[in-house]
Amino acid sequence: MCDPTIMAIASMASGVADVMGQASAQAKQKQSYDEWFAMQEKNRAEQNRKQEESRKLAEAAREQALAGVSAPSQAKAQDAEQARLDAYLQSQSGPLLDKTPTGAGETTSVADKFLLAGQQSGDDVFKSDLAAKINQAARDARGRIAALATAGSFGNSSGGLDNFTTDIFQKGAQTIDMANEFRRGDLAVYGTQQAVNPVTWTYTPGIRL
């Protein structure tokens, strides 16, 4: 038969152990919550930083696109394309437009060089009149070419304003879309992180923590 005193002491010791075990479980549970909370705060701060970076990337792309299609930028691009088209079209127009002199006193030599070779019977008045008409026709042709180059520079030629502005907006939109994809991806990761629960501690009598 067990001694009542020994039983009482054992019961007391068991109670103390239970109290200590429960206190240990509570302490570990508090530590688990503290660590979980600290990690959540860290994740939240990191997410805010990433979202701000993506927002700045999108905003920079937007501002760059607007600056790229500003009036001065468009005017510069149009002037450059007009000069390119004019040079190209003039080069395709043949030697008459490329080489016809425009200075005073050169009309007769132009006629001699381009239209009157082997026709020495024409008098000076005829040659001068014909050369003047040739020069005027050449100037008119140049003017039409310049007008065509100007019109083309506003259209959809390789460097025309239509393509110029479209390219800028497309590049800006691509960067903004990329920034938005970054934001969505980061938010998905953050959602997974938020779904992680803290470790739960419970005390079971007879098991030391």
Q: Is the pLDDT of residue 109 over 80?
A: no
Q: pLDDT tens digits, residue range 146-172?
A: 888 888 888 777 778 888 888 999 999
pLDDT at 19: 63
d(CA 116, CA 128): 11
State both tokens at 58. 């999108």
Q: Is the pLDDT of residue 47 over 80?
A: yes
Per cent of the chain over pLDDT 90 is: 25
Q: Return the domain boundaries, the chain.
A: 23-194
pLDDT at 56: 94
Tokens 């050169």 locate to: 106
pTM beyond 0.85: no
pLDDT at 153: 82
Higher-confidence residue of 119 and 143: namely 143
Other beta carbons within 10 angstroms of residue 122's beta carbon come to 15
Q: Is the pLDDT of residue 41 over 70?
A: yes
d(CA 73, CA 30): 62
Per cent of the chain over pLDDT 70 is: 71
pLDDT at 104: 46
Q: Is the pLDDT of residue 110 over 90?
A: no
